[in-house]
Amino acid sequence: MAQNLSFFASSILLVAAMTSFIHGCHALSSDYYAKLCPHVESVVTAVVKKAMTNDRTVPAALLRMNFHDCFIRGCDGSVLLNSTKNNTAEKDGPPNISLHAFYVIDLAKEALEDICPGVVSCADVLALAAREAVTLSGGPTWVVPLGRKDGRISRASDTRQLPAPTFNFTQLKLSFARRRLSTADLVALSGGHTLGFSHCSSFQNRIHSFNGSHDVDPSLNPSFAVSLRQSCPAHNKVRSAGATMDSTTTTFDNAYFKLLLQGKSLFSSDQALLTHPGSKQLVEKFAGSPEAFGKAFAKSMIRMSSIPGTGVEVRRDCRVVR
């Protein structure tokens, strides 16, 4: 009997260990705000829903913002901080191109400060907003582990640590492995490129002066390359010019993977997923099954949004340290 009990107890512990993610010295948990701020999720959902009906580019922006936050200093809301007189923040660093919709996080945070002041971290608001962005765009849903703390450091120079769109498979794998993310995470999370828009500069390398023998990356579908070159001529002067990430830019679906197999992805880093047998197999699986993609994406988002940060506080205004 005693043996049975302890077996039961250790099973519970195991389940607890599997459902809570170690985050700095705190474990994240899905019910972190159950008593502290029970309506946190519905508040964030309502704000994201309203914002995206006014501006269809909001979901893509929130998802990419969460990725940038988590890949630099862990998920600590550092991407949300404004620059100050002394400091140029992440959001003003070079790969900030197209980071936008910070106002949505501000609106959610303001609504939360009204009902539970000083309780919900900006990093948690961002993780919830990114999940909502995906779900409300037709993608999967998942339970977001909560209890992150906000960091006080945000440096433009740290954005060099983000993977670049010119990366090859080895470089991508290393960038993800540094954050304890696997090849499966890399492929699933690259599927985030089912939403949104890219500027010409991010895929310029593939469509002009690719290498010594090819002006255009030969792995690009030829007619797709022609259309990209029309939107983005060699000496493009239209700063807003670019292309949608896939054919269904406001719908979270598996079109990105189908197009990738046809040579119709934008970045070298997307194409690179086909250069390794294991990751190519996953691309094929996700191209064939939106359900398999949705399930894998949700699982990998939980892992990405659990990258430990060094946050120490709960900010009142997500743009300023306390």
Ligand X SMILES: *[C@@H]1O[C@H](CO)[C@@H](O)[C@H](O)[C@H]1NC(C)=O
The contacts of residue 11 (CB under 8 Å, 6+ apart) are: none
Q: How far lies 230's CA from each of 5, 197, 233, 242, in Å?
A: 69, 16, 6, 10
Exactly one of 269, 271, 279, 306 binds ligand HEM (CB under 6 A); which one?
269
Q: What span, in angstroms and rounded, lies between the C-alpha atoms of 225 and 70?
A: 32
Q: 61, 144 in Cβ contact below 8 A?
A: no
Question: Per-residue contact track with ligand X, 193 to 212, x per CB under 6 A?
Answer: ------------------xx
Residue 294 touches ligand HEM, criterion: CB under 6 A: no
DSSP H helical ranges for 151-203: 169-177, 183-190
Q: Scan residues 36-65 and list those touching ligand HEM (CB under 6 A).
A: 57, 60-61, 63-64
Contact region for ligand X (CB under 6 A) — 60-68, 82-90, 137-145, 225-233? 82-90
The single residue among 27, 29, 30, 100 that binds ligand X, judged by CB under 6 A, is 100
Q: Does 97 bind ligand HEM (CB under 6 A)?
A: yes
- C-beta atoms surrounding 74 within 10 Å: 21
Contact status: 322 vs ligand X (CB under 6 A)? no
Handedness of CA 313, 317, 320, 322 (dihedral sign): negative
User: Does residue 23 carry a catalytic annotation?
Assistant: no
Query: Is residue 163 within the footprint of ligand HEM (CB under 6 A)?
Result: yes
> Pairing relation of β-strands 21-23 and 26-28?
antiparallel
- Binding residues for ligand HEM, per CB under 6 A? 57, 60-61, 63-64, 67, 97-98, 163-165, 167, 172, 189-190, 192-193, 195-199, 202, 245, 267, 269
- Binding residues for ligand X, per CB under 6 A? 82, 84, 86, 91-92, 96, 99-100, 168, 170-171, 211-214, 218, 317, 319-320
